[in-house]
Structure 1
Amino acid sequence: MSSELAANVRAHGASKREEAKVVVGACVGTVLEWYDFFLYGSLAIFFSSHFFPAGNSTASYLASLATFGIGFIIRPLGAVVFGRFGDKAGRKATFLATVVLMGISTAGIGLLPSYETLGWASPAILIVLRLLQGLALGGEYGGAATYIAEHTPSGRRGYATGWLQTTATFGFLLSLAVTQLCQLWISAEDFAVWGWRVPFLASVLLLAVSTYIRTTLSESPVFQRMKAENRTSSAPLRDSLMVGQNVRRMLAVLFGAQAAVGVVWYTCNFYVLYFLTSTLKVPSSQAYSYLVVALVFSLPLYVFFGWLSDKVGRKWIVLIGCGMAVLTFMPIFSQLGKAVNPALAQFQQSVTIRVASSECSDSMFASTQTACDKARDFLTQAGLSYRVEPGLAGEPLVTHIGGKSVAGFDAKAYRDALIAAGYPAAADEAAINRPMMYLLLFLLMIWGAMAYGPMSAYYVELFPAAVRYTSISIPYNIGAGYFGGLAPFMSTALAVKSGSVLGGLWYAIAVGGISVVLGMFLLKETKDVDVNQ
């Protein structure tokens, strides 16, 4: 690159037309990555029996979900592998490789023969494909964020990268839309047998489009200049992980920002769906339709808060969004219960449920074996809070439901006692206070967008250009993969052990609250930082 061109790029960045092309190219590929990733979780209930031994559908479903979790666990390794490659070989080539890897892996799931055909090779290959998906996703975000930001002038960097922050929501919505369309055209019986493969195979079309767009893009001007000036890092991992100042930045990002953003975004976008269906007993089709409205409402907010961060700074928008979420999760979800299923809320107020036993385990990680543990799990799945009391040693479990007592654990006896006490087994659609419900859902979307919208620009501005891809990818994927990835398990376990349907929120509140406090002291503002350095 000539010195004149370098000076021009430094002064002016990309044109607005080139900037729009860069944003579209990066975002289309990232939408595909998230589409592929979410598709597995939404369709696992349909294909789980195909890839695991027959005879126990619940065990097969749990095994498929465990395989889904592998994708989160492997993400930090993907960050290391592709981060190093992106800082050495370039941004464009690297995030082109991640989208191709993700697309091929997803199509592979759609083509994978069943357990009946391949035996144990079938779940083994499924695990390999999930590992490849996790590796690809681990390398995607850092590359896309870096690529967009390095093409964009400082006064528009938050706005431009704000579009990237919409891609997870777009990917989730796209996975739902394609699945719903397939289920409209394919009978329920055929969908369970082979139709579930169609959404996976459809990713080939998205892969072709995103690959074509990304191949037409130019390399990041910042990377081109570093390469021309021989300033690229020869060992990005060493320069990221062995330089004290950079390590401190990565730790500040991980514990002062990404931990909070991960749990807040998960709670606002996914835990709320679990709460609607499992706790409030809204039929899944209805719950998805409500959430889709809220997600569509949230899309422009990511761009808005990215734009706002260009004006007033990134740090405090992120921390205020996370802080407001932490402070309001309990009242929002409590009011959501009253708005969506008022009969269940009234039942909980008028009917006291007590579990008296001497054998209830205290460990969150204990398997459900004792009668007490089974009773607690049953009540949690019913969307009911309860109080645990010490029982007499040697005497059986006694569960008090209103004025009726049930000895031992008997699911049918529990259901009969609940129905006799007036328990509403499902939410009444006509009784839902929709204005209040949407107001509460929209509040959650606002907090999530505030937390997530400015993050790409903030990360890019925080780290030096020579190790930017690696330094962004590692803390982001550890935070999203582990803090966010642990959220489903921790939330469910806390709800069971606490005896409160709102108890699962304490994981997000604790992690998010601690992270916000740390971020207030550890994070610095970056709005006017020169990303060329």
Structure 2
Amino acid sequence: MPEDAAPQTQGATYEPDPKDVRKAVAGSAMGNCIEWYDFGVFGFMPAILGQVFFNAGSTSEGALATFAVLAVTFVIRPFGSFVLGPLGDKLGRQRVLALTVILMSGSTFAIGLLPSWEQIGPAAAVLVILLRALQGFSAGGEYGGAATFIAEYAPNKRRGFLGSWLEFGTLVGFFLGAGVVTLSTVLLGEETMQQWGWRIPFLIAGPLGLVGLYLRNKLEDTPVFREIENQKKVSKSPLKELLTQHWKSILHLIGLVILLNVGDWIMLAYVETYLKDVLGMKGDAPLLIVMGVILAMLVVIVPIGSLSDRIGRKPILIACCAGFLLLPIPAFTLMENSVGENGSVNAAMLVGGLAMIGACLVLFLAVVASTLPAMFPTQVRYGAFSIGYNVSTALFAGTAPYVVGSLVDATGNTLWPAFYLMGAAAIATVPVLLLPETNGVSMRGIVSSRQCESTTTTPSAPATG
């Protein structure tokens, strides 16, 4: 339906069993966990993988080669979203999500079986790039579908609480990937990791994927999608419909997600490099610090999601934007001043700086999965969400650590991460202010990212928390 059209009258509605709601949340979060587990594995042993697959002559060359391969995922993701997203609107969410979890976990698992450069030469590099491309393609249909799946299953008054578990899965996956790499390195040593130990983190993705597939196959499609399917209202050409009638809402989402992408990748990917290369911290301390920040975010993310069911999503998003406009300079100044000339670290200053950035980021993470699906009507929700989200991710997520690091190196100004976060917040503030408040509004009543029909809410299912 066009963005300026009134929503059609809905027929009978399905109300899911609370047990099915919990299964939907678990299956969705598990897929997101696997996606970010893969990023954690790649992100925390780049030098080893560069030497194994690209015959890099030094650790720095190996890291650069691995980060280049990691970038392939971001380049391919929009292509996956253009294919898998509209399929989810035409064939159903559950079928496509089962496919994405197979492709993501299978490609990660297969990397653990690949021969090295030493065994087959340049073909090793070609194979790992192809598998990373497949992983990126499948990731293009994962997050949008998983968030849509939870949002369409969740009772209206519990959508913030239940949606926050999706990003809980994100943080768990990243923490798990980094943790497995760290533990394997400690137990096996650098030499053994170089020889064969690097395979272990990748092979673990196989069992994780089977669990995710089992959880997703145990469910019917979402009640909201089954309604439009039974009413013969499934779009015959969802890609054409979303590009011609909902492109304004897609642009709205892209502008909003810029802050999430920049914040995510500066906090989870760049901060470790910042602590090592800019502040001169040694050993495993930077990695352990980042993992500590993730643990702290895990503790508060679900309570914040639950809070959004009481006060709304917009106040939390506005607080996030305000925080990222005001706090990055004090935060990075504190971190920079926390390390003395003799290498000593003032823990209170370092934790204070990291806490400012982490607190702002977790506000967005806690409500993103309940906010973004409510920007599109059911007929195009999966595809429009996936395309907007992955285009923004390709442009601003993986590039953030590289751009910020390059600016710091070129200018010598260590506050560039702060400036970059503030710029992203300034951009995102406008689309946040334009959002309607959708807390408690039925997913059946969404017209566009600027309009929803709040009078069409349906009774909420029993609480599942």
After TM superposition, the score normalised by the length of structure 2 is 0.89
Task: Give the equivalent residue in structure 2 for 1:298.
Answer: 297
Q: Which residue of 1 aligns with 2:179?
A: 177
**Which stretch of structure 1 is more off in the superposition, 161-170 or 305-314?**
305-314
Secondary structure at 1:532 match in 2: helix
Give the number of the structure whose alpha-carbon radius of gyration is greater. 1
The whole-number CA distance in structure 2 between the counterparts of 1:180 and 1:495 is 28
The partner residue of 1:7 within 12, 16, 30 is 12
In the aligned structure 2, how far is the partner of 1:178 from the partner of 1:520? 37
Aligned-residue offset at 1:467: 0.5
Residue in 2 aligned with 1:94?
Answer: 96
Query: Is contact 1:319–1:451 with CA below 8 Å preserved after alignment?
Result: no
Deviates more, 1:90-99 or 1:435-444: 435-444
| Cα distance in 1 for residues equivalent to 2:349 and 2:103 | 43
- Preserved CA contact (<8 Å) 1:87 1:466: yes
Map residues 506-517 of structure 1 onto 2, 5 A cutoff.
506-516=419-429
Match of 1:271 in 2: 270
* Structure 1 counterpart of 2:254: 254
Query: Aligned equivalents of 1:263 and 1:507: distance in 2?
Result: 8
Residue 37 of structure 1 deviates from its aligned partner by 2.7
CA distance in 2, matches of 1:336, 1:467: 44
Cα drift, residue 8 of structure 1 = 5.1
What is aligned with 1:400? Answer: none
Deviation at 1:56, TM superposition (A): 5.6
Match of 1:61 in 2: 63
Deviation larger for 126-135 or 275-284: 275-284
Question: C-alpha separation between the residues in 1 aligned to 2:432 and 2:182?
Answer: 43
How many Å separate the matches in 2 of 1:320 and 1:307? 16
Deviations 1:383-416 (CA, angstroms, capped at 9, x unpaired):
xxxxxxxxxxxxxxxxxxxxxxxxxxxxxxxxxx
Asked whether the 8 Å contact 2:331–2:352 carries over to 1, the reply is: no
RMSD value, Cα: 1.9
- Provide the residue aligned with 1:455 in structure 2: 368
- In 2, Cα distance between equivalents of 1:59 and 1:338: 30
Gap change, CA 1:433 and 1:118, over 3 Å in 2: same
Q: Distance in 2 between matches of 1:286 and 1:57?
A: 19
CA contact (8 A) 2:317 2:432 kept: no
* Corresponding residue of 2:194: 192
Q: Where does 1:317-466 land on structure 2 (aligned, <5 Å)? A: 317-339=316-338, 341=339, 343-344=340-341, 424=342, 427-428=343-344, 432-466=345-379
Q: Deviations over 1:294-339 (max 9, x none)?
A: 2111113222222222222212311321221232101111012222
The match for 2:219 among 217, 220, 226 is 217
**Structure 1 pair 233–477 and aligned structure 2 pair: CA distance change class (3 A):** same
CA shift digits 1:133-172 (9 cap, x unpaired)? 1111111101110111111111001110011012221111
Q: How many Å apart are 1:494 and its aligned residue?
A: 1.6
Change (3 A) 1:109 1:520: closer
Between 1:304-313 and 1:198-207, the stretch displaced more is: 304-313
**1:467 alignment partner, one of 375, 380, 383:** 380
Q: How far apart are the structure 2 equivalents of 1:287 and 1:37? A: 17
Q: CA deviation at 1:50?
A: 1.9
One of 435, 442, 446 as aligned partner of 1:523: 435
Identity, % of aligned pairs? 32
Q: Specify the alignment match of 1:369 in structure 2.
A: none
**Displaced runs of 4+ in structure 1, greater than 6 A?**
none
Q: Secondary structure at the match of 2:204?
A: helix
Q: 1:499 to 1:61 in 2, by over 3 A?
A: closer
C-alpha displacement of 1:493:
1.9
Q: TM-score, normalised by structure 1?
A: 0.78
Shift in alpha-carbon separation, 1:91–1:119, aligned structure 2, 3 A: same
Q: Report the counterpart of residue 306 of structure 2 in structure 1.
A: 307
Instruction: For 1:78, give the aligned amino acid.
Output: G
Change in 2 beyond 3 A, CA 1:57/1:278: closer
Work out which of the residue numbers 391, 413, 419 in structure 2 matches 1:478: 391
Q: Is the 8 A contact 1:52 1:60 kept in 2?
A: yes
Indicate the SS of the match to 2:12.
helix
Structure-2 separation of matches of 1:520 and 1:40: 33
**Deviation sequence 1:274-301 (CA, Å, 0-9, x none):** 2212211222411222222221111132
What CA distance in whole angstroms lies between the structure 2 residues aligned with 1:58 and 1:499? 20
Report the residue type matching 1:191 in the other structure.
M
Using the TM superposition, give the Cα deviation of residue 488 of structure 1 relative to its aligned residue in structure 2, in angstroms: 1.1
Unaligned runs of 5+ in 1: 1-5, 345-423
Distance 2:424 2:349 in 1: 28
| Residue of structure 2 equivalent to 1:367 | none
- Rate the CA distance shift 1:62–1:265 in 2: closer, same or farther, 3 A: closer
C-alpha distance in 1 between matches for 2:273 and 2:419: 15
- 2:337 and 2:349 in contact (8 A); partners too: no
Aligned length: 436
1:423-479 Cα offsets, whole Å, 9 max, x none, are x4xx32xxx332333233222221101122111111111100010001111111122
